[in-house]
Structure 1
Amino acid sequence: METVKTPEATGIHIWVLLTGFPIAEIISGRNQPPWLAWPAIAAVAALYLWTTRLAFTDRARATRIALPLLIVVGVASALAFQGAWSFVLTMTAIATGTAVRAARGMLLLLALTAVALAVTADLGLLLMMFSGWGVFIAGLIPWIIVQLWDTIHELTETRKELARVAVSEERLRFSRDLHDLLGHTLSVMVVKAEAVRRLAPGDGEAAARQAADIEQIGRQALAEVRAAVTGYRGRGLDAELAAARDVLADAGISLRVQTSAVRLPPETDALLGWAVREGVTNVIRHSAARSCQITLSDTGGLELEILDDGRGAPEPVEGNGLGGLRERVEAAGGRLAVAGSSGFRLRVTVPA
C-alpha cells in the first residue's frame, strides 16, 4: 500500500538554537535581572520544543495548551527584555505556523509580526522592518508547508476511497452481469429440457434437436460468462431479439416485434439488449402468457416496451434482475417502469 511521508518535528526543533541570541545578551549582562531572564529563556525553549512536537502528534493539545503558553511567555519576554529577544518571537511564529491551520494561523502570525515591530521600534526603521518581516516569514514558511502536506494527505485518502468505491462498483457490475447472463440462460435451458421430456417418448429426433440446443446454449453461456469477466456488457438488441424469438417459441409463446429504424450507440444497444433479455426471462418464468409483444419507438427518446398477456401481478416485485436493470437504466439517464395489472409490462426509456 502506498504511504505518504509526513513531516517530522526534528526539522522544526533545530530552530530552538535561536535562543542563543537572548542567552548571549544574558551572559553579557544586558538583561536584568538575570534571575528572571534565565527562567524565561528556559521556559521559552521548553515550550517551543513541546509545542512543535505536539503539532505532529496531538495538534489539539498543541493549539489549546502548549502554543498559548508559548505565546504568552514569548511575547511577555520579548516586551520585557527587547533587543535580541525578538528572536523569541521568531521561534513563536515558527511554532504557530506549524501548529495552527488555515486563516487562524495567519492571523496569529500577523499579531506576532506587530509585536516584533513594537519590540524593535527603538532600533530604527530598517531594523524594525527587518525584524517584523523575519518573524512573519519564519511562521509563513512552515504554515505553507503544513497546509500542502494536509492537502496531499487529503488527496491521498480521497484517491484510496475512490479506489475502494471503484472496486465495489465493479463487483456489483460483475454480480449483475452474472445474474443477467445465467438467469436468462438457465431459464432457456429449463424450457428446452421440459421440451425434451415431452418429446422423448414419441419423437426422439425432435427431442435430440432440443438436447443439442441445450448443449449449444450451455456453451454460449460459458462464452458469455468469460466475456463478462473481461468487461463485456451484452450482445446488443438485434441478437437478443433473435434469441427471444427462439426461446419464446420453445416455450409456446408467440412473439410480435415492432422496431423503428434507429441507429443505436453501442452503450444504448447493449442496454436495450439487456432489457429485452431480462424482460423475456420474466415472461418465461412468471407470466404463463400465450403471446408477447416487443416494441421499440423513437419519440424524442428511445422507448422499449415488453408486454405479454399473462397473469401479471398488481404490484410486481423487483428482484435482482429488474433491480440491476433499473440501476443500469438510471445510470444512463433513463427511466424504467414495471406494471402488472393486465399482463407483465416492462418499459425502458433512454435518451436518443
Structure 2
Amino acid sequence: MAGTKKRNCRIPELGKSGKSRPDDVGHPPSGFALLPWLLMGMGSFSNLVQGRTPNPLIAGLGLLAFNSLYIYVVFRAFAKETREARSTRVALALMALLTSGLTIGYGDTWLWFFPLLGLAVGAVVRGKPLGRIALGLSVLAGTIAWFHEGWAAVNIAYGTFLSTAVTAAILSLSDAVRELRAAREELARRAVEKERLRFSRDLHDLLGHTLSVIVVKSEAARRLAPRDLSAALVQISDIESVGRQALTEIREAVTGYREGSLDTELDGAHSALSAAGVEPAVRRSGIPLAPQTEVLLGWVVREAVTNVVRHSGATHCDISVDSTSERVRLTVTDDGTAPATTQEPGTGTGIKGLTERLAAAGGSLEAGQGSRGGFTVSAELPVEPVDPLGLRDPGEPQLVSHRG
C-alpha cells in the first residue's frame, strides 16, 4: 500500500546493465577448478614412461582417453544445460567402463582413477540418484582393488566415495549460492520498479488534483476580482494554501513518508467543487477507519473530484462514505453530461492505478455511467475497526460541514 507507512528503504545500486549488484562476487567456478586433480594419475603416467607397465600402447591410449573424457565432463558440469545433456552422461559412462578396464588390467597406481571418476560423477550427478551411484561406484572400486591390493582396497573405496560426495556437496552449495544471488538481484530489481511505480502514481494523483484546484480557483478569482475583491482575495489565499500543501505532499511522496486523512481530503474536495461551481454534498457515517484505509479512500476522493472538476460539467456532486465493521464503501456521484469517453473507466492513469492499489489491499473500484445519468465512482475496502475512544456513535450518520 504505497505511501501509507513510514519507510527507510535503500534503493539497491544498479550496474551498467540496469540490474542491481548486491556484491562483487567474482567469476563463477568452472572446470578449471577440477583440473589439478588429474595429478592423481601421475603415478600411472610415471610407470608408463619408465616402461614398468605391460602393453604400454594400450595403457597410453587408455590414459589419454580417460584424461580427455575427464576434461570434457568437468567442463560441462558447471552449466545445467550441458550437465544434463545426453552427451555428458554418455561420456561419464564411457569413463566408468574405461576406468574399470584399466584398473582390472593394471591395478597398482591405476586404481586411483576411481577417485578421479568419483570427482567427475560428483560434478555431474545431482539429487536423489547421487547416493546410490556413489555407493555403487565405491563398491565397484573396492571389489576391483581387493583382487590387486587386498585390505588396502578399503582406501580406494573410501577415497572414491569421499571424492564423489564432497564434490557433489560443494558444487551443489555453489549452485544454491548462485541461485540465491540471482534471486536477490531479481528482488532488488523489482523493488526499484515498485518504488518507481509508487512514485509515478503518487505524483500523478497529487499534481493532477492540485493543479486542477489551482486552475479552478484562479478562474474563480479572475471572475470575482472586478465585482468582489474580498472574495477574490479569499480564492487567492486558497491558491497559496493549496500550493504550499502540494509542496509538502510532493516532498512526502518523494521520501515515501506521505500519510493522509480522509477528512482532510473531503474538506479539500468540498472546497474544489465549490470553487468550480459544483454544489457538493458530503456525508460520512460508520466506524473510524485505520490510517491505511483512509489514505486509499483519500486517493479515490482526489481522483474522482479531479475528474468531476475537469471533465463532467456537473452542477451537483454527492460524496458518501459508509463503513461497517467489515467493509467501507465510498461513492462519488455527479450529474454531469460530459461524453462518456472523457471518463471511461480504466483509461486514465489515475483510475487504473487506483484500481490496482485497491485490489492489492483486498478491495475493488468501479467507475462508469450512473443509473440516473452522470458518472459514479465506487470503492470498497475491508476495514479493521479502530477503538473510537469516545468518538461519534458508529451507527449515527455524520454530515460533514465545510467552509463555503
- 2:114–2:141: 8 Å Cα contact kept in structure 1? yes
Counterparts of 1:102 and 1:312, CA distance in 2: 66
Counterparts of 1:289 and 1:125, CA distance in 2: 101
Alignment-derived partner of residue 200 in structure 1? 225
Q: Which moved more, 1:230-239 or 1:135-144?
A: 230-239
- 1:255–1:293: 8 Å Cα contact kept in structure 2? yes
TM-score, length-scaled by structure 2: 0.78
Structure 1 position 104, deviation (Å): 5.4
Q: 1:217 to 1:306 in 2, by over 3 A?
A: same
Q: Deviations over 1:61-106 (max 9, x none)?
A: 8825754443342232123333442211110111221234444555
Aligned match for 1:329, one of 342, 358, 366 = 358
Alignment-derived partner of residue 24 in structure 2? 3
Kindly indicate whether structure 1 or structure 2 has the higher relative contact order, using CA contacts under 8 Å at least 6 residues apart: 2
Alignment-derived partner of residue 336 in structure 2? 310
Q: Secondary structure at the match of 1:260?
A: strand
1:99 aligned partner, one-letter code: V
Structure 1 position 195, deviation (Å): 0.8
Alignment-derived partner of residue 235 in structure 1? 260
Q: Which moved more, 1:218-227 or 1:41-50?
A: 41-50
Counterparts of 1:100 and 1:3, CA distance in 2: 29
Counterparts of 2:99 and 2:217, CA distance in 1: 89
Q: How does 1:181-200 map to 2 (within 5 A)?
A: 181-200=206-225
Q: 1:121 to 1:330 in 2, by over 3 A?
A: same
Structure 1 position 296, deviation (Å): 1.5
- 1:313–1:343: 8 Å Cα contact kept in structure 2? no
Alignment-derived partner of residue 12 in structure 1? 34
Q: 1:314 to 1:187 in 2, by over 3 A?
A: closer
Alignment-derived partner of residue 260 in structure 1? 285
Structure 1 position 314, deviation (Å): 5.5
Alignment-derived partner of residue 34 in structure 1? 56
Structure 1 position 262, deviation (Å): 1.9
Q: Secondary structure at the match of 1:303?
A: strand
Counterparts of 1:7 and 1:178, CA distance in 2: 46
Alignment-derived partner of residue 294 in structure 2? 269
Alignment-derived partner of residue 382 in structure 2? 351
Q: Which moved more, 1:103-112 or 1:210-219?
A: 103-112
Counterparts of 2:316 and 2:276, CA distance in 1: 10
Q: Is residue 82 from structure 1 mapped to residue 112 from structure 2 by the alignment?
A: no
2:245 aligned partner, one-letter code: Q
Structure 1 unmatched ranges of 5 or more = none
Q: Deviations over 1:190-235 (max 9, x none)?
A: 1111112211222233223222322222222122111111113442
Alignment-derived partner of residue 151 in structure 1? 176
Q: Secondary structure at the match of 1:120?
A: helix
1:333 aligned partner, one-letter code: G
Structure 1 position 325, deviation (Å): 0.9
- 2:212–2:310: 8 Å Cα contact kept in structure 1? yes
Aligned match for 1:140, one of 165, 179, 204 = 165
Counterparts of 1:312 and 1:184, CA distance in 2: 19
Alignment-derived partner of residue 141 in structure 2? 116
- 2:209–2:303: 8 Å Cα contact kept in structure 1? yes
Q: Which moved more, 1:265-274 or 1:227-236?
A: 227-236
Q: 1:249 to 1:125 in 2, by over 3 A?
A: farther
Structure 1 position 301, deviation (Å): 0.9
Counterparts of 1:220 and 1:233, CA distance in 2: 12
Structure 1 position 154, deviation (Å): 0.8
Structure 1 position 298, deviation (Å): 2.2
2:382 aligned partner, one-letter code: P
Q: Which moved more, 1:93-102 or 1:281-290?
A: 93-102
Alignment-derived partner of residue 291 in structure 1? 316
Q: Secondary structure at the match of 2:337?
A: coil
- 1:313–1:340: 8 Å Cα contact kept in structure 2? no
Q: 1:202 to 1:311 in 2, by over 3 A?
A: same
Q: Deviations over 1:17-50 (max 9, x none)?
A: 2213434665787753233223322432343344
Structure 1 position 163, deviation (Å): 0.8
Q: Deviations over 1:294-328 (max 9, x none)?
A: 21112421111111222266672330111111111
Alignment-derived partner of residue 248 in structure 1? 273
Higher helix share: 1
Give the paired residue count: 352
- 2:260–2:291: 8 Å Cα contact kept in structure 1? no
- 2:41–2:109: 8 Å Cα contact kept in structure 1? no
Counterparts of 2:257 and 2:352, CA distance in 1: 19
Q: Secondary structure at the match of 1:169?
A: helix
TM-score, length-scaled by structure 1: 0.89
Counterparts of 2:146 and 2:224, CA distance in 1: 109
1:350 aligned partner, one-letter code: L
Counterparts of 1:224 and 1:7, CA distance in 2: 50
Aligned match for 2:191, one of 166, 169, 177 = 166
Q: Which moved more, 1:83-92 or 1:155-164?
A: 83-92
Once superposed, what is the RMSD of the aligned Cα atoms?
2.7
Alignment-derived partner of residue 203 in structure 2? 178
Counterparts of 1:125 and 1:243, CA distance in 2: 94
Structure 1 position 283, deviation (Å): 1.4
